[in-house]
Amino acid sequence: MHALYLAGKFDLEEDSDVLDYAWVRKSELKEYFTTPLTAPMIELAERSLYY
Amino acid sequence: MYSHLLKSSKTLLKACATGVKALAQPAKSNFFQSATLRDSSMCLVVRGFSSGAGAGKKTQYVEEGEEYVEPKRGVIENTLINASVIIERTPVCFPDPEPWMEQLSEFKHHQQLREANPLPKDVVAGLRSKFRDDERVETFVPNPRITEDDLKNDRKSLYRALPEPLYLIVKVRQTEDKTLPREIWRFPTAEWREGETIRSAAERTIFYHAGEALQYYMLGNAPICHHVYTPSAELKKEFPNATQVKVGYVSYCATCFRTALQGLRPNFACTFLSKRSHHACTCTYACMFSRSARLPI
């Protein structure tokens, strides 16, 4: 994922480690952060990201 | 997990030395340079700060032609540190008012009407006729607040969820922990390396994930929050002394450039938050950062 940025659209490079991306609301984070490693991020977002 | 990162970064750094130099000197505010980007359908604004805890330490990047020496992953007091960035697109229009807000607004309006001195009748009639005859008022139809991308639920687009902030998350391959799925969603994250500040590690992450084309507004040098977890068996093999991994989250504001948006969607002019409160939220966050910072910066 590099270089081209237009209206939120990224170009994903073929050999990139980044497989996908998304722009999500705070309320949508829990759909993505489902592993034990990333689940705490939901609570952190609730606590730390305002409005 | 991110061993590939520096390999890629090495290539990037060599290939994009100019861009790196620009990244390495974020002190000057080039808010108004974004005027050159008006042709883009949506632009973001770069702003950097020279003040703050990380200001004294410049990020070390290679010059063109210079050999890049990969710094080691840093360990502080048996703690491995990762820098994660939260890139936020601020709301584009006002949020929908709550019922109590509408009631309060109506109450205030009626109160003002009661207390105001009435205008002469001929002035009122003149004003009414003037606005009635104004074609712009008659024909003005604001754009819908729910966009096509909202209806399609296109989560790759920034042109959705206009009244709310959006956050960038990425799906990456992870090899750090074999008990976890191989592909996970997370905020863009990189390992903190020796000689770096948390801020420069975060900026490296942004540069790796989005390149120099993504422009941003930094909200502070220190993380807004952090979380701690136990390193996996694979990490313990590599770093036997490490007892925990600490992830610090640094917040960035990717602000839509108002003029560019107006050019694209002129009818949205009425719903824009003029210079919407990234200034205000900067203050709020900056206060929080200073209190909640736990990581070395």
> Which CATH number does the domain housing residue B205 bear?
3.90.79
Task: Calculate the average pLDDT of chain B.
Answer: 63
CA of A13 vs chain B CAs: smallest distance (Å): 10
In total, how many domains does chain A have?
1
Tell whether A2 is covered by a domain: no
Residue B115 CA: distances (Å) to CA of B110, B119, B206: 9, 12, 55
pLDDT at B151 over 90: yes
Tell whether A11 is covered by a domain: no
Q: What is the band of B33 on the pLDDT scale with cuts at 50, 70, 90?
A: very low
Q: Report ipTM for this prediction.
A: 0.87
Pairing of the two strands B75-76 and B79-89: antiparallel
- The Cα B14–Cα B287 span in angstroms is 38
B158 with B209, same domain: the answer is: no
In total, how many domains does chain B have?
2
Residue B287 CA: distances (Å) to CA of B220, B228, B270, B292: 9, 23, 31, 9
Q: How far apart are the two ends of chain B, measured CA to CA in Å?
A: 23
Closest CA to B32 of B266, B259, B232: B259
- The Cα B106–Cα B112 span in angstroms is 10
Structural domain span for residue A32: 20-51
CA of B63 vs chain A CAs: smallest distance (Å): 20
- The Cα B255–Cα B278 span in angstroms is 8
pLDDT at B109 over 70: yes
- The Cα B169–Cα B204 span in angstroms is 16
CA of B178 vs chain A CAs: smallest distance (Å): 12
Tell whether B105 is covered by a domain: no
Over residues B141-150, the mean pLDDT reads 81
Pairing of the two strands B75-76 and A18-24: unpaired
Q: Are B223 and B250 in contact (CB under 8 A)?
A: yes
**The pLDDT of residue B234:** 79
Q: How far apart are the two ends of chain A, measured CA to CA in Å?
A: 29
B152 with B179, same domain: the answer is: no
Tell whether B50 is covered by a domain: yes
Q: Could you report the per-residue pLDDT of B164-179, keeping only the tens digit for each? A: 888 888 898 877 777 7
Structural domain span for residue B180: 3-90+165-261+279-292
- The Cα A27–Cα B161 span in angstroms is 11
Q: Could you report the per-residue pLDDT of B242-261, keeping only the tens digit for each? A: 777 877 777 666 544 322 33
B83 with B188, same domain: the answer is: yes
B255 with B133, same domain: the answer is: no
Q: Are B81 and B194 in contact (CB under 8 A)?
A: no
Tell whether A41 is covered by a domain: yes
> Which B residues in the span 211-270 are in contact with A, Cβ-Cβ below 8 Å?
211-214, 224-225, 227, 229, 249, 251
Contact assignment for B168 to A21 by CB distance below 8 Å = yes
B35 with B82, same domain: the answer is: yes
- Selecting from A18, A25, A41 the residue whose C-beta is nearest the C-beta of B170 gives A18
Q: Could you report the per-residue pLDDT of B181-220, keeping only the tens digit for each? A: 888 898 888 888 887 888 888 888 877 776 665 667 777 7
